[in-house]
Structure formats: C-alpha cells, structure tokens
Structure 1
C-alpha cells in the first residue's frame, strides 16, 4: 500500500472515531442547558432550583463528561437501545425508525422523478453522439430545472397545485396522492443536477482519443455511445451519490412544508425541542443512509471503470469546455435583475411599519407590504446584504481552510469525506440543537460543508504550482521551502481558488436562505431572504406578493449559481493530486 493510501485510510478511521465520539456526546456538548428544558417539559410544577436541575442532569447522565456520555450512548446503540426522549420519556428508536421509513419512501419516489428528468436532459446529448456531432451543454432546460432550490420549489408547488388549483392535498401522508408534490420538489432539482453533470461529462468524454479510435475502426455508433455513457457515469458517479445524500438533506424543508412525518421533520422538531436523544437517533439513521449510498456508488464506480485502476490510467474530462451561450445570457440577465432590485430597495427603510398591512403592489410599493406593513422591496434589498455578507465571509473562510487542508494532503481525507457528505440543512439542525438558532450558527453550519470542494481544488492548484519549472529550481538556489511556498506557490494558486470561491457564493447564499426559512438561521426582524419567505408563506393565498418578491430574489441567485457553474467548473487536471 502506498504511503498516501495509508495516510488516507488512517485519516478516515480517525475522523470516523472522532465523529462517533462527538455524536455520542451531543447531550454533554450542548451549550444550552438541557436540564432546564426537560424540567419545563416534564415537571412544569417544579421550580428550577439548582438542586432540581442537578437531579435532572444526573438522571440524563450528563455528570460524567463527554467521553463517558458518548460511551454510555454507544453501548446502548450496540444493544439496540437508542435512548429515551427527554421530552416524552419514551424510547426514541421506534419513532426515528418510522420517520426514516417515511423519508426513504419519499426519497425513492424523488429518485424516480430525478431519473426521468436526468434522462430527458441526457437524451439530446446521446442523440448527438449517435450522429457523431459535438455535444453541447444541457441548455436552458438544464438551467431552469437546476435553478430552483427544494424548499422554494416545494412552496411554489404547494401554492399553485394545492392551495389555488386544489389538485393535491396541501399536507399529510396518507396515500399516493400525498407523495406527488414533495417528490417533484425533491426530484426535479436533483434530476436537473444529475442531468447537467452527465451532459458535461459526455461532452468531454466524446472527444477523447479512444472515442475517435473506436469510430475510425468502424465500431457501431451504439457501441461508441455505450462506451461514452459508461465512461461519463464513471466520471460523475461520486457526485451523483452526493446528490442522493442531498435528497435526504433537502427533505428537511420539504417535509416541514408539506407536514410529512419523515426524518427531516423529526430532526427539526428534535432540534427545536432540544430533545437531543431523538436528534442523535435521527442523525444515526442519516449517517447509515449516507454510508449505504457510498458503498453502492463505490461498487457502481468500480463497475463503470471495469475494476480498480492505477492513478492516472484514465484522464478526466477536459477542464475547459466550449462557451455555453445559454449560461452566459442567463448569468448576465439574472445578475442585472438582482442588482436592479437591490439598488431600488437599499434607499428604503426595511423596518418601518409605515404602510397598510398586506398592502398590494403599487407605484409607491413595487413589491407591496408584508403582514407588519413593512416595505417588501426594502426588506428584499437589505436582505441581499444580510445574505451575501455572511456568504462572503464563508467563501473567504472556506478558501483559507481549503488551503490549510490542502497542505495536509491525503491525511485530510477523513474530514473531507465527512464534511462533503453532510447536507447543509442537517449541519444547520445539529448546530441549532447545540447553540440555538442564530445567524452565526447558520454561518458555522454552511462553512462546515463548504470548504471540501475548495480544499480539493486547492490541492490540485498547489501541485501544479510546485511543478512549474522556475519553482522547482528555487530550492536549488538556496531558497527555503517555506519561503518558496509562501512567496511563489500560494500566490500562484490563490487567483484560481478565489474565482472558484466566488462561483460558489450564490450557492452558499441559498444554503443560508434555506436555514433561515426553517428558522435555524437569522431571527426576526432581520430581513433575511429565507426568513422573509417563511414569514410570508402563511399569507400566500391572501397576499402572494409577500412570498413572490423573496422567491424571485432566490431564483435569480440560483440561476446565477447554475449559470456560473456552467461557464466554468474547476476540476483537477490530469496528473494532479487528489485526496485519497
């Protein structure tokens, strides 16, 4: 086994051990005193005296430190006992398992929708390969399908098809009719992303030398197409696995919107009630699902490659693709519209309740007023600052963390794998359970899942910078390695890494908005976009403008994110180092 492989294996084992210890010690790690919450929930007639709180802590097993708390929980898990609820006192295992079954059912239907959408996007690319023509991007359909966040699409489907048209029930989980809207909300964006990934991979694979060789040797076009598809699937199979894990993360918001008793809603309720044993049980099921997806897609990757191959045996698709005009036009148009909204609203007061309650749009109030009589245009515009300001901090921090992790090489494989497989909303639920819902907690949660792509790209860029001829000669002339790294290697890698970070800015802003929508981020009266949408959703039938304005801003941000990724998606070049 190579030294890098050994380091990666050790890193993954250590990271898993640390994660398991933290998961078991969640009750002890909470910065909010759980004893007070449990005393109010179970013994409302008792006064919160120090003696009563100490008795509750002893009953919960919080008086032995984090290691003892973690060991006690894991010993119960190995016996099949996931603990007792701090709120109801009943066992949490059956409830978590039932909620997990609901989420798996929803995820299965969402996956079916995603596959249909992905096939529809990939079909034109396959037809072009059969006709031996260049493959273009997924086009405007790919941008539209991918640009709608799950929680926003779920809200739109609820308003249109459940509230206005009354074709489907607005909430519940009693039969197939209740599955349609949430499955569409989860499956359409996932299918759009899978389709775009596959089309991008096909466009690169179809131009590789082996494909030209097959064509020149007279291989049937269907055989060439089969080889191209297999090679393309192998190139993106890991990303597809992460998309499926993300379906469980996106289900938190979707289940909350449609009142589905699934694992996402179960986790959110446990976090809000500070019922940490229930939260531990739910997170355990999420982790098991992520592990299962990783194993399945690892097998699929080996099948697609045809078996294990040495590093560099097959080159990845080209880094540079032909310019996507649809993505360019979408990027410019969405950016101009968003800037116009922000410029028009920044001069207005976002907090003053000087207008009639739920006033409709007019020349004075282009986006109307909310339930408190506040100018919606002003709140959306100022919300851009409240959303993009933290997002910029996350990008900067992700770049710094990515650089530091990149220097660790394969030794950082464990933390990268764990953070990369964690959906932002799941991270937000966990942070909120520990420190309470807040804007700072949302920033920490999104940062937790934002640095791995930048770390992988940073490692590739650093390897390229070190391989440059003049850099390789500097130590020969007596320059210390640390000086070479700080003065030449890092400055060479930073510009490309900064561009990559800015491409991820809109997606990070959307993640913050999704946490705000669930009440896990900024708190009222802050004009944060997700919070604005959550505040207006109760009035959507009487005053739809209260949700249309923040929804429009979020859609524009999503289009910018998708279109920007379509113009350029950083990838490690052939021969560059990668984690693991």
Structure 2
C-alpha cells in the first residue's frame, strides 16, 4: 500500500517533534554544563576546566547528531537518562508523575462524563433543544482560571477542601472539577447539539411508527451521533494533558505536568525530555484510541465512507450579550490605560478597593486597574498577531488538504502548554515564545475550514463554466476560489481571537509567557496567588476579566453562527455533504479556544 500524503506529513511531523525533544540540550542556547555544575555544587567556581569536565561527563561535546543518537538509543532501551539537578534516573520520576496525572485525568474524565450526561439528559427527555449557553461557557473557561477560583472560594474562603497536596481523596476533588468542567461542557454540548437533528431523521419516524420503544430509539440515536464526534472526544482527552499542567501547578499536585514545568524552569533537560515525551505519548495514544473507537462504532460497511451528521443548531445569543460584555471590558481597559501600571507605592501594599485604587493594589502597591488595562492591550495585540499568522497558514494549507491533515494530527496532539514548555526550554520564557507556541497549534481548525470550502467551490458549476470558456487556473484561483474561501475563514479566525488570548494568558500564568514586571493578565493571576488569602481582590480582578473574555468568545461565536443560520434559512433535514460538514465541525469548536 502506497503511503498517503497525510501519512507522510504525520510521520515527518512526529519525527520533527521527537528530534526537537532529543536535541533540547543543544537547542537551548545555554550552557548545560553551568546548570549541572551549580546543581552539583553551588559553591564551586565555574572555571573552564570544571565546565569542560561536566560537558565530557554528559557527552555534550560530541555534537548534536551524536547527542540525538545517544538519546534515541537510550530511549529504545527504556533509559531516559539522569537528572542534571538530582542526579537520579529520570524514568522513576516520570513514571511516578505519570501515575499521579493519570489518576487525576481519570477523575476529571469522570466529572466530564457526569456533566455531559446532565447536559444531554434534558434533550433526551424532550427530544429537542440544545445544551445552551451554560455548556458553551463551561467549555470556554480555561482550566487555570477554574482552578484559581475554586482554590479561592472552596479552599480559602469556605475552607471545605484542601488547597494543595496529594495525600488523600479529598485532595483530588478541586483539581478534578477544575480539569473536568471544561471537558464536560464541550462533550455535552457536542452531543446535545447534534442529537435533536438526528431525532428528526426519517428512520426515527419509521421506528416510532413501527412501535419501537423510546429507549431503543434513543440508544440508536446516540450510536448514530457518536461516530462523527469521537475525534472531537479524542481532542478533549488530549486537552486534559495540557490543562493538567496548570491545574497541577495551582494545587501543587506532583503529576507529570508539574514535573515538566519544574524541569523547564530549572533547566533539568533530561527530566524535561522524559516528561514531555510522556505527555506527547499520552496525546498520540489518545488520538489512536479515538480513531479505533470510531472505526468500531461505524462497522465495516461505513469505515471508508464515513458518517456525517445533520447541521447542529447554533446556540442562540442576543446581540446585546456580546455588546454588553464588550462594553464592560472596554470600559475597564480604557480606565486602566489612563493610569500608571508600574508605579510602586509600598505604603499601600495589598490595599483594598478604594476611590484612589478602584480594584485595589498588589503586593508591591501597584494599581491593579492600571495593570489590568495595560495587560489587556498587550495581550489582545499579541493575540491579533497570532490570529493573523494562523489565518495565513490555514489558508495556505487549505489548498493542500492531504499534506495538512497529517501535520494537523500532530498539532492537535500537542496542547499549547506543552509546546510552550518546549519553546521556553529552547528560547527562554517570553511573549514571543508564547505567541509562537500558540501559533504552532492554532492553525488546524482554520486549515480544515479552508480545505472544506476549497473542495466545495472547486466542485461548483460556475467554475466548470469558467474552465470551459478557457479561463486560466491562476485566474480561477485569484478571482473565484480564493475570495470565496478567504472571507469565511477570516471570520472564523476573528471568532477564535478571544480563545487565542486565553491561551496566551494561560502560558503567562505558568511563567512561560510575559515576564515581570509586564502587566499581562495570566501573569497578574499568577502573582496574586502568593497573597490570595490576604488580598483576594488582586486575584479576582484578572479572574473576572478572563471570565468576561471567555463569555465574549462564547456569545460572539453563538451570535455569529445564529446570524449565519438565519441568512441561510432553516437547515434541511437531509444529511449535508462532507465538505460542509467538515466546515461546520471546524467552526463548531470556535468558542473552546485553541
């Protein structure tokens, strides 16, 4: 069997990622010998002789190819090397962290399933409706925000549950809820939005007319709904690996995500290699299992043909909702831009909200409102640049669907946090590195949307007429295909802008993005965790702003999709062609972020 273009690009992408992981000690641009020397003896003078001895011990003077080969051969033997900081084998640390993370992810998946069942149950009972705005909002909330709010409310204010550690089942509750709620919101929304249209199909009427019980009809409808949505479920599980990094950091859970982040900060590159490799393996295995489950659900007759769902009914949103959220955000940002975000006044450290400081002050006496306003300007500006870059890449790869599919599989298996850790290990933490990390994984939905539209436009009758009258391929491309594709994909990219901003904020929260004293929203939330018990307003201000941004993403996307549905008229009951189905799937995940 000849390899397809998607298979080749998938293999090349995987090899490239593994090569980057294996060459981290060489790509980092820093002298690993200095890191190891300081870890072994902080008092030893870093002379050239001492550094050369360390390089010789680590094999760093043999060159990048030898370094990559030694790492690959060790990997085949099950040897991940020795930690540069602790001097112990990496494998036990990775295995221990992976065991903790798998337990946390399993609990989070249980929370997600329970929430999804609660969202789907009313649709099953009534046979119509959708999951609504609550599910969309839950899916759009980032895990680090839910974790921080849960720690603040349930752990600090109410004292119901422990806020850190991993000693018993009670320590699992808050992390599992923070990690599982967004996943459950997305799962419930996907199934609940697709189920009513399936229940209106002709075969359901025939079954009911034949006296088939309601339970059997519902079970068959669920089986009809699940196969096209299983790849989306796989992406949800992959997202758990990225969200676990933030959640484990907030609650001090000794999982593989926190291990990877700590290794990146301490430049313990062997431990970082092992942790990232474990996270990458989790994502790839999850994707493979999702594909296998989908094939089993479809059965032999439909495996190659696939199965498309009727178009989902969009979440209804009144235009006043996104407008109101935008007004509140813009008012806070505009007011903050008029104030100085860097002015330090230690006399008013952690001061509560007042007329002088409407949102209080932080640990250095800086005005929280000012930092909120200036942080929004930089975050939105960076997100806009990332959005434009993703749009350009998506449009370009939309004309190469075979090659883009394989690369998209690898990009979908790498959450922004994991890519951010790799970029930070190579180039150091910073705004540019965070933007690059988000851009590397934010293009697949846009490319899928563009590819579906390109296929649809190329099959249209008016292009056949253009070819018949002798129009050149370049003329058809520039005057017909590209204009028909660029506008819808550009609107799709615009709807993804708040999600990209949230992804950048999550990297800033983990210390992988903007660095102090930059007033970035994720960084503000991270800084406020040190004194959240004494000054909760410093944490609530960026938390509320991020929640409003998530709400704006959801309501804006819902209003845009609803307006598009009204323009197109009532959707038909028949199954839509595959290109439109792929385009609908690409836009359906808009409010979930990248």
What TM-score does the superposition give when structure 1 sets the normalisation length?
0.92
Does residue 1:194 correspond to 2:187, yes or no? yes
In structure 1, C-alpha distance between the alignment counterparts of 2:59 and 2:559, rounded to whole Å: 54
**SS of residue in 2 equivalent to 1:214:** helix
**Runs (5+) with no aligned partner, structure 2:** 566-574, 584-594
- Could you tell me which residue of structure 2 aligns to residue 575 of structure 1? 578
Kindly indicate whether the alpha-carbon contact (under 8 Å) linking 1:460 and 1:573 is maintained by their aligned counterparts in 2. Answer: no
Instruction: Show CA shifts across 1:224-266 (max 9, x none).
Output: 2112211222221111111112112111111111111111110
Instruction: Show CA shifts across 1:70-110 (max 9, x none).
Output: 22111111111111111122110001100100001111111
- Could you tell me which residue of structure 2 aligns to residue 290 of structure 1? 283
Kindly indicate whether the alpha-carbon contact (under 8 Å) linking 2:6 and 2:407 is maintained by their aligned counterparts in 1. Answer: no
Question: Which deviates the most, 8-17 or 109-118?
Answer: 8-17
Change over 3 Å in CA distance of 1:204–1:71 after alignment to 2: farther
Kindly indicate whether the alpha-carbon contact (under 8 Å) linking 2:284 and 2:413 is maintained by their aligned counterparts in 1. Answer: no
In structure 2, C-alpha distance between the alignment counterparts of 1:215 and 1:564, rounded to whole Å: 38
Kindly indicate whether the alpha-carbon contact (under 8 Å) linking 1:151 and 1:514 is maintained by their aligned counterparts in 2. Answer: yes
Question: Which deviates the most, 385-394 or 336-345?
Answer: 336-345
- Could you tell me which residue of structure 2 aligns to residue 225 of structure 1? 218
- Could you tell me which residue of structure 1 aligns to residue 546 of structure 2? 554
Question: How far does residue 484 in structure 1 lie from its aligned partner after superposition?
Answer: 2.2
Change over 3 Å in CA distance of 1:38–1:487 after alignment to 2: farther
- Could you tell me which residue of structure 2 aligns to residue 390 of structure 1? 382
Does residue 1:21 correspond to 2:45, yes or no? no
Of 8, 18, 26, the match for 1:10: 8
- Could you tell me which residue of structure 2 aligns to residue 331 of structure 1? 322
Question: How far does residue 443 in structure 1 lie from its aligned partner after superposition?
Answer: 0.4
Change over 3 Å in CA distance of 1:568–1:100 after alignment to 2: farther
Of 339, 344, 348, the match for 2:335: 344
Question: How far does residue 33 in structure 1 lie from its aligned partner after superposition?
Answer: 2.6
Question: Which deviates the most, 112-121 or 227-236?
Answer: 227-236
Question: Which deviates the most, 98-107 or 381-390?
Answer: 381-390
Kindly indicate whether the alpha-carbon contact (under 8 Å) linking 1:92 and 1:278 is maintained by their aligned counterparts in 2. Answer: yes
**SS of residue in 2 equivalent to 1:519:** coil
**SS of residue in 2 equivalent to 1:63:** helix
In structure 1, C-alpha distance between the alignment counterparts of 2:106 and 2:286, rounded to whole Å: 13
Question: How far does residue 222 in structure 1 lie from its aligned partner after superposition?
Answer: 2.3
- Could you tell me which residue of structure 1 aligns to residue 197 of structure 2? 204
- 5 Å-filtered alignment, 1:74-113, equals 74-113=72-111
Does residue 1:302 correspond to 2:302, yes or no? no
Change over 3 Å in CA distance of 1:313–1:163 after alignment to 2: closer
Change over 3 Å in CA distance of 1:315–1:144 after alignment to 2: closer
Instruction: Show CA shifts across 1:158-217 (max 9, x none).
Output: 112222222222211111111111111111121111111111221332333433443445
Of 62, 66, 83, the match for 1:64: 62
**Runs (5+) with no aligned partner, structure 1:** 130-134
- Could you tell me which residue of structure 2 aligns to residue 415 of structure 1? 407
Instruction: Show CA shifts across 1:125-170 (max 9, x none).
Output: 11122xxxxx222124324433432111111111122222222222
Does residue 1:530 correspond to 2:533, yes or no? no
In structure 2, C-alpha distance between the alignment counterparts of 1:317 and 1:34, rounded to whole Å: 55
- Could you tell me which residue of structure 2 aligns to residue 120 of structure 1? 118
Change over 3 Å in CA distance of 1:306–1:278 after alignment to 2: same
In structure 1, C-alpha distance between the alignment counterparts of 2:323 and 2:308, rounded to whole Å: 33
Does residue 1:235 correspond to 2:238, yes or no? no
In structure 2, C-alpha distance between the alignment counterparts of 1:308 and 1:83, rounded to whole Å: 47
In structure 2, C-alpha distance between the alignment counterparts of 1:70 and 1:308, rounded to whole Å: 45
**SS of residue in 2 equivalent to 1:87:** coil
Of 532, 540, 545, the match for 2:537: 545
Question: How far does residue 329 in structure 1 lie from its aligned partner after superposition?
Answer: 5.5
Kindly indicate whether the alpha-carbon contact (under 8 Å) linking 1:201 and 1:235 is maintained by their aligned counterparts in 2. Answer: no
In structure 2, C-alpha distance between the alignment counterparts of 1:546 and 1:336, rounded to whole Å: 22
Question: How far does residue 551 in structure 1 lie from its aligned partner after superposition?
Answer: 0.6
- Could you tell me which residue of structure 2 aligns to residue 380 of structure 1? 372
Change over 3 Å in CA distance of 1:44–1:363 after alignment to 2: closer
Instruction: Show CA shifts across 1:352-386 (max 9, x none).
Output: 23572222112332211222222211211111111
Kindly indicate whether the alpha-carbon contact (under 8 Å) linking 2:391 and 2:493 is maintained by their aligned counterparts in 1. Answer: yes
Change over 3 Å in CA distance of 1:143–1:411 after alignment to 2: closer
Question: How far does residue 498 in structure 1 lie from its aligned partner after superposition?
Answer: 0.8
Kindly indicate whether the alpha-carbon contact (under 8 Å) linking 1:312 and 1:575 is maintained by their aligned counterparts in 2. Answer: no
- Could you tell me which residue of structure 1 aligns to residue 469 of structure 2? 477
Instruction: Show CA shifts across 1:479-502 (max 9, x none).
Output: 332332233211211110011111
- 5 Å-filtered alignment, 1:233-272, equals 233-272=226-265
Question: How far does residue 8 in structure 1 lie from its aligned partner after superposition?
Answer: 2.1
Kindly indicate whether the alpha-carbon contact (under 8 Å) linking 1:30 and 1:434 is maintained by their aligned counterparts in 2. Answer: yes
Question: How far does residue 17 in structure 1 lie from its aligned partner after superposition?
Answer: 2.6
Question: How far does residue 41 in structure 1 lie from its aligned partner after superposition?
Answer: 1.9
Kindly indicate whether the alpha-carbon contact (under 8 Å) linking 1:139 and 1:326 is maintained by their aligned counterparts in 2. Answer: no
Instruction: Show CA shifts across 1:418-457 (max 9, x none).
Output: 1012111111111111111101010011111101111111
Change over 3 Å in CA distance of 1:357–1:223 after alignment to 2: same
Question: How far does residue 410 in structure 1 lie from its aligned partner after superposition?
Answer: 1.0
What TM-score does the superposition give when structure 2 sets the normalisation length?
0.90
- Could you tell me which residue of structure 2 aligns to residue 183 of structure 1? 176
In structure 2, C-alpha distance between the alignment counterparts of 1:426 and 1:476, rounded to whole Å: 50
Does residue 1:446 correspond to 2:434, yes or no? no
Kindly indicate whether the alpha-carbon contact (under 8 Å) linking 1:117 and 1:192 is maintained by their aligned counterparts in 2. Answer: yes
Question: How far does residue 284 in structure 1 lie from its aligned partner after superposition?
Answer: 1.8
Change over 3 Å in CA distance of 1:233–1:563 after alignment to 2: farther
In structure 2, C-alpha distance between the alignment counterparts of 1:414 and 1:50, rounded to whole Å: 46
Alignment RMSD: 2.4
- Could you tell me which residue of structure 1 aligns to residue 357 of structure 2? 365
